[in-house]
Structure 1
């Protein structure tokens, strides 16, 4: 094992893959990470507090645990520490990797009607994660981000109660026992809430006839890292825009393809092209109409808009700071499609149900 200080934390290596192709799990005293599509890769350990990582002996052995703690005590952060006798024991982190994968599925699963990637049922996935997290309690002696069993369990009782599947029934029984242990009020006995089998895909502007006042139009891909999960269709070119003039007023109309249970309402959207710019918020269906302003912040004039070159238009949605490549998104889509086509040994029940719904 080799330990170096990476971004302020002692770690066994750099991140094993870029976001969103990395599965991450925060346990007491450390963050573990794996490439999501390479189950043979050992975890990269980044220590937030080695003294709190009481579980370390479980994956490094007792001697390895002692060696790491001693090696990191009062060390110069510019040093590189070599521990040739320490390594992750084969198979020892498999359960943690599966937990990390489950959290990755919650955040990054690229559900898409356009690409034929079926959405995962969030109630089933969260319930299974709650059970797995409770079983791994020895790794969560501190309140880490991924230790919140109650947060995973509490919202979904009614949705799970709407299933008619013996595998879900067995999961519900385990969740009910877990809720009793935790003192959580949890009712899976049909509150009348319907489980949504699928989600509507909002049509983009490209699917609609153009207005006679359309000056320019195009499409972009929303960066996954910029927006919350479970809202937008994860296909490429999932947002259309059009600069339109009507009654001498210049606006930009945007429409994102939505394909998830959560609402797009309130997510920021902006456009910039040279001196022209506009900003606003999406509505629940992923649409917005933004006023186009000039360099001085005044409404753009119609003649200016018609004479402008809109080919360099940039549209941003959400945080606006991410820039994962299309190749990386393709890699994640290929991984998701492979898991649906041939369920892996570590498949979650939510994945199995999604795969079966394709037939």
Structure 2
């Protein structure tokens, strides 16, 4: 990711797969859950969420967001924001690479990055992309005490940021809408959370920074809703509250823990043995690859997936338990466990949601799997124990397993979430955070005692 004052590469794709595609900057390394992505007019922008690898390998904590990498597939549409994000010299270089002029530009040029990352558009774009990342990849975990983010509060702030960054989106091409140009849709989807934000904004005795943050978000939502022609009781209440424009009344400060309290009673109901009259042969923890299921299905802890192999008479049975996310859907698509023994073919075991666990099991013979058992045919051979791998996925959603090193990146993302929640809990949460805390993070900290 380029920084101000450094050179930036502007190159045209050479593989010929997409005619006219131009790349600005270097593609961030790492799995997709370590990148924040934004679809804008004529391009896709990408920021690294984590810092560069440290001396021992795992990524460091990120610093301030810099300029994104851009894959420009329509330079004409992208010109409306390229100059504001990267400066005029980069915008000209993208045009030259696309048209092949001047001589040699089609192969690539190097230009100096102008100091534009502090502009409203650049900062807003980075924040909007990070917010979309959080809506997809935030590692909420009851097991590890990482609070989840209230979807309605985050969705409304994303709507406000989308409206603020309207220059990134091309409203002149209604037949080519960008997926992330969705302010009206986000307001309509999360309008029930508007009352919570208004009550929070009107509350007395709150930090001045938080009050300004709320005021900015609510006024942007009001303007975005007005531009889109949205109406309804929640929006009319918002407009009436904004129109009052008077000092907040004195009184008891709002209890954010109560205002944003979530359903309680999540107790990790890993209970009685699933198979009576059996004995344990071996057990372990499986991998928890976030890429393989939608957000909100599974607790983000690395050891949320566990398995047990039992001897039931002459049969060998594997049982899988997966700690569910507190918001896991009680109906609809169900997860499956993918089981592999000694690197053999992977087979799937259906899982059902039972209380706060996804559970399932099957006889290994029915799956076409076998264990290398010892002489007593009850325990694995001590010299060569079987290697059992268990993962969890949603069929039809799963892109396939990630790379072996992804676990270190997941650990780094968990550390980033803890760092951000700690920053949101400080009296001055806006100092040094990347980017500054979202309202949903501040609310999550306030409600943490209700959740854990």
Q: Same fold (TM over 0.5)?
A: yes
Select the residue among 67, 70, 74 that pairs with 1:45. 70
C-alpha distance in 2, partners of 1:27/1:270?
36
Select the residue among 339, 343, 358 that pairs with 1:271. 339
Per-residue CA deviation, residues 291-339 of structure 1 (Å, 9 max, x unaligned), is: 2344x965879x8984656641111211242235222112112211111
Aligned residue number for residue 441 of structure 2: 351
Q: Which moved more, 1:66-75 or 1:342-351?
A: 66-75
Rate the CA distance shift 1:202–1:77 in 2: closer, same or farther, 3 A.
Answer: farther
C-alpha distance in 2, partners of 1:150/1:347?
23
Aligned residue number for residue 229 of structure 2: 183
CA RMSD in angstroms comes to 3.7
Aligned residue number for residue 241 of structure 1: 307
Structure 2: tracts of 5 or more residues without a match: 1-7, 50-61, 171-175, 202-210, 238-258, 431-435
Select the residue among 382, 388, 392 that pairs with 1:317. 392
Rate the CA distance shift 1:203–1:33 in 2: closer, same or farther, 3 A.
Answer: same
**1:6-155, aligned counterparts within 5 Å?**
9-18=21-30, 19-36=32-49, 37-53=62-78, 54-74=80-100, 80-85=107-112, 87=114, 89-92=116-119, 93-141=122-170, 142-155=176-189
Select the residue among 325, 346, 350 that pairs with 1:281. 350
CA contact 2:36–2:47 (8 Å) conserved in 1: yes
C-alpha distance in 2, partners of 1:136/1:333?
28
Q: Which moved more, 1:269-278 or 1:19-28?
A: 269-278
Aligned residue number for residue 230 of structure 1: 296
Q: TM-score, normalised by structure 1?
A: 0.83
C-alpha distance in 2, partners of 1:74/1:2?
15
CA contact 1:278–1:293 (8 Å) conserved in 2: no
Rate the CA distance shift 1:6–1:152 in 2: closer, same or farther, 3 A.
Answer: farther
CA contact 1:277–1:293 (8 Å) conserved in 2: no
CA contact 2:142–2:326 (8 Å) conserved in 1: no
Is 1:197 the equivalent of 2:257? no
Deviation at 1:71, TM superposition (A): 2.6
Deviation at 1:268, TM superposition (A): 2.8
Q: SS of 2:303's equivalent? A: coil
C-alpha distance in 1, partners of 2:138/2:361?
30
CA contact 1:243–1:253 (8 Å) conserved in 2: yes
Tell which structure's C-alpha radius of gyration is larger: 2
Is 1:332 the equivalent of 2:413? yes
C-alpha distance in 1, partners of 2:105/2:83?
26
C-alpha distance in 2, partners of 1:112/1:77?
52
Deviation at 1:138, TM superposition (A): 1.7
Q: TM-score, normalised by structure 2?
A: 0.67
CA contact 1:202–1:259 (8 Å) conserved in 2: no
Deviation at 1:253, TM superposition (A): 1.6
Rate the CA distance shift 1:307–1:63 in 2: closer, same or farther, 3 A.
Answer: closer
Per-residue CA deviation, residues 258-278 of structure 1 (Å, 9 max, x unaligned), is: 223232751232212146864
C-alpha distance in 2, partners of 1:99/1:148?
12
Structure 1: tracts of 5 or more residues without a match: none
C-alpha distance in 1, partners of 2:406/2:90?
38
Q: SS of 2:401's equivalent? A: coil
Aligned residue number for residue 208 of structure 2: none
Deviation at 1:208, TM superposition (A): 5.6
C-alpha distance in 1, partners of 2:325/2:352?
14
Alignment: residue pair count: 354
Q: SS of 1:145's equivalent? A: coil
